[in-house]
């Protein structure tokens, strides 16, 4: 869950590509943790991680429409 919060915070902050990448890979590495519940296991998949980033972007479009005019600073 810490990686999800980190991704959401850093994605909304912008201009912090390396930190965002680090938290994204941290979430993906979580797939190797045993005994996760179904939701956590799904979030650590490629699809789950992509969903988390897309969801944050959708929220940002609503709460910060000016952010759409700024070029993306990360490759995610």
Do the domain assignments include residue 73? Answer: no
DSSP secondary structure letter of residue 65: G
pLDDT at 73 over 70: no
Do the domain assignments include residue 19? Answer: yes
Parent domain of 17:
2-64
- pTM of the complete model beyond 0.85: no
3-state secondary structure of 72: coil
Do the domain assignments include residue 10? Answer: yes
SS (H, E, C) 24-35: HHHHHHHHHCCC
Work out the percent of the chain whose per-residue pLDDT is above 90.
Answer: 71
Number of domains in the chain: 1
């Amino acid at each position: 869950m810490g990686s999800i919060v980190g991704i959401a915070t850093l994605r909304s902050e912008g201009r912090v590509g390396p930190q965002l990448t680090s938290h994204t890979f941290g979430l993906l590495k979580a797939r190797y943790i045993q005994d996760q519940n179904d939701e956590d296991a799904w979030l650590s998949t490629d699809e789950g991680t992509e969903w988390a980033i897309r969801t944050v972007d959708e929220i940002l479009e609503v709460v910060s429409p000016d952010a759409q005019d700024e070029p993306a600073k990360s490759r995610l």
